[in-house]
Structure 1
Amino acid sequence: MDERIFVTGLGMISPAGAGVTPFWVDLCAARSRFEELTPLYAGMKPGVLAARVPRGARMAALERVSAATRARPRAASVFAEYAALAAIADAGMVPGDPGLRNAVVCVGTNDGHADALENLVAGRKDLAGTGGFSSYSIAEGVARAVGSTGPAFVVHNTCASSNVALSCALEMLRSGVADTAVVGGCDSYSEKNTIGFSSLQAIGPTACRPFSRNRRYVTPSEGAGIMVLRTERAVAAGRAPYAELLTVAVNNDASHPTAPNSEGVADCHRRALDQCGLKADDIDVIFAHGTGSRANDSIEGAIFAETYPHAAVTAIKGTIGHLMGAAGAAGAVASCLALEKRLVPPTAVGAEEVEVGIDLVTGAPRAVPRLRHVQNNAFGFGGYNAIAIFGAATREASDDD
């Protein structure tokens, strides 16, 4: 039987601010903090909306990270290190804690140190001034910050990256590599991404509206979410975990550079259920990928309507924006908070707008007293699909149905 793996600590930085609490408060209020971007080239349309980490939150994060990172700050490293330090503190640990010395560190990202590379290419800084743009340095910095000398690595799987990182960490803990993992995802604002999305006409002046018949645009965002995972034998006595990580299913249909493939996405759903021995009706809540694009929401929504007719669905990108490689991490943190609080935050659309026949949570948060299993979806360009399933942390809670 596979070793049980529990989530014992959460850390988050997002457009809501620094910390898990403002993130959860904004989700429950369906409060977005989108702002207009300055056009990056002559042909870029004005009024494009995005979500940025507020200056105050950036400064709070910068004060907490290592001196080396403060000396030449790159946003992805600042976000990831801050979220990791917050997560281990939430787990009742401190940097250098014996439980962290051999911890696995795995960080998913889409663009890594895009800001450093863009500063170099634009001539705003030289190579030394940028601090370099090796993505591995993100995981290296997190490991240094928490005091781990265990395996540390970064995965790039576009917007599925964080869930792929969770998959890697889960396998390593179950195989006995370590008892603890510090894992999640990060991404910062990228000029390259903004120009790319603009050329695809995927961003614009209307906010992301997942599963709405009026949906049109993705709203780019930034931030980081990090979790502490521990094996059952390593969980501290008396400290109740947020959730149990049951499985993460990963596939790549390699069908199209940007368009999702319905069969590839459906196959990932089947794999996730099969891997943890659940049926679709066992899933109580789904945190959808829900980008607000026509294609993604149509495919995802059709699968929900056909396979998960009894699951409550929510899509947090309408509130927090699309955190790119950190999107799965934001969904994972929210999934664990939902299990802890038995509460599902709403999607930032009106009930009358919902296009497909799914039970989309809108308006106010929904209480689910007997919440057992939460699914977190993350899909990306290039055919990457990754789905994590979390369960209630205690057997008493999971049997209360």
Structure 2
Amino acid sequence: MNPILLSHYTATSCLGRGLDAMLAALRGQRGGLAPCDFERADLDTWIGKVDGVDDVAMRADLQDYDCRNNRLAQLGLEQDGFSARVAQAVARYGASRIGIFIGTSTSGILETEQAYRTRDPQSGALAPGFHYAETHNPYSVAAFVRAYCALRGPATAISSACSSGAKVFGSARRMIEAGLIDAAVVGGVDSLCLTTLYGFNSLELLSRQPCRPFDVARDGISIGEAAAFALLERLPADEAPGDDAVMLLGVGESSDAHHMSSPHPQGRGARAAIEQALATAGLAPHDIGYINLHGTATPSNDAAESRAIAALFDATPCSSTKGATGHTLGAAGALEAVAAALALRHRFIPAGVNTTQPDPVLGTNYVLESRDADLRAVLSNSFGFGGTNCSLVFGRVPFVHTPRKNPR
């Protein structure tokens, strides 16, 4: 595939608002998880909550979209001058030539939870101010971003569980390469809600402490929330990108459909996605300098991913940023794409926060201390329920594949 430029990107999570906060936390090995204090959630677990979401004032013309998920989306769009950069892209291409691709898992379901608690006691009718289409509907966040940025291009929401925020890159890339659009706003937005917290609790997947990906004592996930966005554009024909420019080089997707919630134990679907991402990037495993693992911190998920990694890579440094941010579900792929972009741009490998004793059985080169590294290409994995897998390869340009002298 032709490289696609990430001309601008931003992320808001429990690590803070914007790139500076995220970069400082990743370099400083600081996490943002805290004991669960989400309203009405009486659970012994830790969460990654974004401060100030409830205080966000929706724009007057977008009041029908008012819900926690879209407030979080607006908060994210306001960071790092992102919406202004989108406006500049509109001036270059036109509003109808910019697509919108947003990943989410539960969208604004919290609004529906609240609406059902305030039903009319006699008729059971929901309050007249409840707007399902603009809040709970999975497409609502894509529609909100489209309206907020005054875009008129094709828009879609992708809800493929925890791979949603990564798959948007593949959808955008296909439409750009087909000539249907010139640029795309991609991202992932997922917010805390009782359905998610109690749902994962019922599956016995929540840890009672901050999650520890790939640790010998890992015992479950910590749920977080986030809004992360990137502006994708073709490489400009009349100028070379700077040395710190980040490109989308490869995309791989697979669906192993092994089980509704468990990955294939040998990581076959994950391996297929990784292999496809490398092939579309025209790279070999040894070209990858760092792997941002899906790394949820559940025993089975980490084990399956480690088998896929071991089958393809030879001691490539890797870590999961979910120990710092929690698992942001439908937003995770986009949030971790931004983490990968920061690692490339600032030339460092982020440590796996909270992990203290990597499980030797998994056999990975798990990074416990953030360190400088002249990265040229990184891999970011996102694997969801039902075997919906997506791997992304990002790199700096120019990137030239160098054949290995002693192939494995």
Whether TM exceeds 0.5 here: the answer is yes
Pick from 109, 112, 118: which aligns with 2:113?
A: 118
Determine helix, strand or coil for the equivalent of 1:82.
helix
Question: Does the Cα contact within 8 Å between 1:280 and 1:307 map onto a contact in 2?
Answer: yes
Identity between Structure 1 and Structure 2 (%): 26
Determine helix, strand or coil for the equivalent of 2:161.
coil
Deviation at residue 147 of structure 1 after TM alignment? 2.1
Matching residue of 1:386: 390
Deviation at residue 190 of structure 1 after TM alignment? 1.8
Matching residue of 1:136: 139
Matching residue of 1:104: 99
Pick from 361, 376, 383: which aligns with 1:372?
A: 376
Pick from 277, 283, 297: which aligns with 1:278?
A: 283
Determine helix, strand or coil for the equivalent of 1:13.
strand
Deviation at residue 376 of structure 1 after TM alignment? 0.6
Task: Compute the RMSD of aligned alpha carbons.
Answer: 2.7
Q: Which amino acid aligns with 2:93?
A: G
Determine helix, strand or coil for the equivalent of 1:226.
strand
Question: Does the Cα contact within 8 Å between 1:87 and 1:226 map onto a contact in 2?
Answer: no
Q: In the superposition, relative to structure 1, how do residues 100 and 294 fare at CA in structure 2: closer, same or farther (>3 Å)?
A: farther
TM-score (norm 2): 0.87
- Cα deviation per residue 1:57-114 (whole Å; 9 max; x = unaligned)? 654xx25x53234565212222223333546638845375343512010101111111
In 2, the alpha carbon distance for the partners of 1:260 and 1:147 equals 39
Q: Which amino acid aligns with 2:220?
A: Y
After TM superposition, the structure 1 = structure 2 runs for residues 193-342 of structure 1, keeping only pairs within 5 Å, are 193-233=196-236, 242-261=245-264, 262-342=267-347
Matching residue of 2:123: none
In 2, the alpha carbon distance for the partners of 1:215 and 1:100 equals 49
Determine helix, strand or coil for the equivalent of 1:197.
helix
Residue 54 (structure 1) aligned with residue 60 (structure 2): no
After TM superposition, the structure 1 = structure 2 runs for residues 169-180 of structure 1, keeping only pairs within 5 Å, are 169-180=172-183
After TM superposition, the structure 1 = structure 2 runs for residues 10-29 of structure 1, keeping only pairs within 5 Å, are 10-29=9-28
Deviation at residue 149 of structure 1 after TM alignment? 0.6
Deviation at residue 144 of structure 1 after TM alignment? 1.7
Q: In the superposition, relative to structure 1, how do residues 337 and 377 fare at CA in structure 2: closer, same or farther (>3 Å)?
A: same
Question: Does the Cα contact within 8 Å between 2:14 and 2:49 map onto a contact in 1?
Answer: yes
Question: Does the Cα contact within 8 Å between 2:4 and 2:173 map onto a contact in 1?
Answer: yes
TM-score (norm 1): 0.89
Q: In the superposition, relative to structure 1, how do residues 75 and 26 fare at CA in structure 2: closer, same or farther (>3 Å)?
A: same
- Cα deviation per residue 1:169-217 (whole Å; 9 max; x = unaligned)? 0111111111110001110002111111111111132211010001001
Matching residue of 1:187: 190
Determine helix, strand or coil for the equivalent of 2:143.
helix
In 1, the alpha carbon distance for the partners of 2:211 and 2:225 equals 15
Q: In the superposition, relative to structure 1, how do residues 3 and 229 fare at CA in structure 2: closer, same or farther (>3 Å)?
A: same
In 2, the alpha carbon distance for the partners of 1:119 and 1:92 equals 35
Q: In the superposition, relative to structure 1, how do residues 234 and 154 fare at CA in structure 2: closer, same or farther (>3 Å)?
A: farther
In 2, the alpha carbon distance for the partners of 1:4 and 1:283 equals 16
Question: Does the Cα contact within 8 Å between 2:98 and 2:154 map onto a contact in 1?
Answer: yes
In 1, the alpha carbon distance for the partners of 2:129 and 2:239 equals 42
Q: In the superposition, relative to structure 1, how do residues 398 and 234 fare at CA in structure 2: closer, same or farther (>3 Å)?
A: same
Q: In the superposition, relative to structure 1, how do residues 304 and 239 fare at CA in structure 2: closer, same or farther (>3 Å)?
A: closer
Q: In the superposition, relative to structure 1, how do residues 335 and 306 fare at CA in structure 2: closer, same or farther (>3 Å)?
A: same
Determine helix, strand or coil for the equivalent of 2:252.
strand
Q: In the superposition, relative to structure 1, how do residues 115 and 280 fare at CA in structure 2: closer, same or farther (>3 Å)?
A: same
Question: Does the Cα contact within 8 Å between 1:9 and 1:242 map onto a contact in 2?
Answer: no
Matching residue of 2:68: 75
Report the more deviating stretch, 92-101 or 155-164. Answer: 92-101
Unmatched tracts of structure 1, length 5 or more: none
Unmatched tracts of structure 2, length 5 or more: 121-125
Q: In the superposition, relative to structure 1, how do residues 94 and 85 fare at CA in structure 2: closer, same or farther (>3 Å)?
A: farther
Deviation at residue 267 of structure 1 after TM alignment? 1.6
Q: Which amino acid aligns with 1:81?
A: Q
Deviation at residue 26 of structure 1 after TM alignment? 1.6
In 1, the alpha carbon distance for the partners of 2:187 and 2:355 equals 31
Matching residue of 2:365: 359
